[in-house]
Amino acid sequence: METPQIDNNATSNNRVIDLSHHLSDEARIRVANPLKDIMRVISECPVTDLITMANGDPHHSLYPFQQIMYEVPSIQDPSDPVTSWNNSGRTQIFHSYRDQECALPIRNAFQYSRAAGLVPCKDALTNFTNLIFAPPNHHVMLTFGNSDGLTKVFRIFGQKGDHFLTDEFSYPGITNCPLPYGVKWVGIKMDSGGIIPEELEKVLIRWDEAKLGRRPRLLYLVPVGQNPTGSTLSVDRRKKIYAIAQIWDLIIVEDDPYYFLRYNVPQTNCASADPDEFIENFRSTLIPTFLSMDVDGRVLRLDTFSKVLAPGMRLGWITSNKLFHLKLGEYTDSSTQPPHAFGQMFVTEMLSEHGWKIDGFCRWLRSLCLDYQNRLDFLLDVFQREVEPTGYAKRMFVWIEVFFEKHPRFVRERCSGGSPVVARTNTECLLKELIERLMSIHGVVFMPASTFAIPENALWVESDGHVPLSDRTRFLRATFAGTEDIIEKGMIRLGKGLREFFQE
């Protein structure tokens, strides 16, 4: 297969190229909601005393909310507001009002709105996105969190018979989304640094369209704290992957819920009281994103408040080029509608002059990361004390590798010849048994690697030297989000469970 060549002149100077050929048939035939289009015209009308009798909004005087008060952690301790919040309970208060001045009044927030979200909230998140990621030629649209956003993204690009690319171990709550409408996944080999660019290119080169259908044109990644392995793509790998995406004309879907929770990062002077200086120092600790290097418009980035505020917020945003932004809007305006007003009001006030402001939110993010770093360090210390001495497991981040070949019932080369993706060991069986015993006998639960494994196909893997993925599902995924007491008990029970399992 001849490798396609890219016209470097077509993608220079941050000029978005025509990527409309990536759209699914559904996205092409979907039309704008005409009622929402009228709302757009109304919002852009220059008449100051415009009277509209077009929409069916109840009058704001009938909304049963006069004001909403948010009592949140104080960020007056600029160095570590999370610890201060946990130790002292110190808070600050900001409000949403119906009739008084605030960033997003109740009278406006609870009206029907368009897909991208309420303008003040969208503008606040656009400012934050531009400040942190500096994306060229991109637009922001609000979502009900990344699961909602990804479901929509997959619909506008995928259709029956298509294949999407992703890490060979991926979160099934997301990879399940496009399966009902006939999209299959191709898992790309990983190592401790995440997806391997050279393996990605091998799959694209080897792809046989006569047997498999059209070559994959979408790559889905979680670049920071990949779920489940915890790996983070280096800047070098990101550049290589983006170059491959340009050569093979791939769309990159950058799902980054853990972006601000990257660990073991050298900290600069982030205690500065000057907002601009603090934000600049904070930005210097962040790793460049695919979005920030996207000169073509081929990256859709998904951010969420789920990991940095609360999962039940159900609020996030997609940053994409104008065409994809419009198509996502057409989908939203005729399906879920934009996210709830409560979350949008809170975020708008939080980022406004009345709340934390952007620098205060960044201080919260940095402090939250330090708190999780302490929990991670504690887990690793207990793991080293309670589990590693067994000799039956080691860790890679919180992706725990179990040495099943040391088990007395381990079987190797159960079959010879045939398909390169057929299991040659009983690793999966032993993994399942270990998980069940840890839960039922020792009272501790881990997530087995098999839950995240993307099914393989012999048509896109190399037969020489390939180890079937089912023989590499020798991992347990752990979490360090709990208290130190929970973490310690969990690691002690894991160590005891491994000893009993291997020494039966």
DSSP bridge pairs for 278: none
Within 13 Å, how many C-alpha atoms sit on residue 174's CB side?
30
Three-class DSSP category at 15: coil
Pair of tokens at residue 296:
């073509």
CA 71 to chain centre: 28
By mean pLDDT, which of 103-117, 181-195, 244-258 is the weakest?
A: 103-117
pLDDT at 400 over 50: yes
Domain coordinates of the chain in residue numbers?
371-502
Residues above pLDDT 90, as percent of the chain: 75
- Checking if the pLDDT of 372 tops 70, the result is yes
Residues 247 and 239 sit within 8 Å (Cβ to Cβ): no
Element at 246 (helix H, strand E): helix 235-248
Q: Report, as an integer, the average pLDDT of 2-18.
A: 55
Cβ neighbors of 293 (< 8 A, separation 6 or more) are 238, 239, 242
Query: pLDDT tens digits for 310-345?
Result: 999 999 999 999 999 999 999 998 888 889 999 999
| 305 or 43, higher pLDDT | 305
d(CA 408, CA 477): 24
116 contacts 338 by C-beta, under 8 angstroms:
yes
Measured CA to CA, the distance from residue 404 to residue 428 in angstroms comes to: 10
Dihedral angle, C-alpha 118, 119, 122, 127, nearest 10 °: -160
Contact in structure between 103 and 354 (CB atoms under 8 Å)? yes
- Topology at the third CATH level for domain 371-502: Aspartate Aminotransferase, domain 1 (3.90.1150)
What are the pLDDT digits (tens) for 132-174? Answer: 999 888 999 999 999 999 999 999 999 999 999 999 999 999 9
Contact 59, 75 (CB under 8 A): no
Which position has the token pair 């983006």? 242
Total count of residues recorded for the chain = 504
Which pLDDT belongs to residue 270? 60
Average pLDDT score over residue span 121-135: 95
What secondary structure letter does DSSP report for 412? B
Q: Which tokens in the block code for residue 219?
A: 């790559």
* Alpha-carbon gap, residue 272 to 278, rounded angstroms: 5
